[in-house]
Structure 1
Amino acid sequence: VSGKEQVSNSAPVDFGTLTADLGTVAYWGIYDALTAGNLLWYGSFTRSKNVLNGDAITVSAGAIVCTLA
């Protein structure tokens, strides 16, 4: 993007194996704190997924892109 800087995750982000159903995951967000934080960036994944108990979630390297205006 001309005139804008971009950063992305350079390594996979592994959330491990889930112990409950989450439902459909379609969006991501980056906060500045674990709880009661401020939303800094957000976006959508290229495809959504119904995430169930026992599923493992890993976000591929380069899948999260933040554009700094």
Structure 2
Amino acid sequence: MAKNSPEKRENLTLKRIEKKLTRPMLAKKVGVSAEHIKSLEYGRVNPSFKLLVKICDALESKADELF
């Protein structure tokens, strides 16, 4: 999987905010650190498939909308 595009990173952040979740809240829901969520939002890392599914479930979104 290629690194996130700036547009997609923004979508991930906006969706998290729309769901009224802080980074720590989302991190707790999906079982990672808040720092990892930040790294995903900044495009420094890509999620594993398992984490991708958890994030999509938590944000009620599809993968192609977020990443």
TM-score normalised by the chain length of structure 2: 0.27
Structure richer in strand, relative to its length: 1
Larger Rg: 1
TM-score normalised by the chain length of structure 1: 0.27
Structure richer in helix, relative to its length: 2
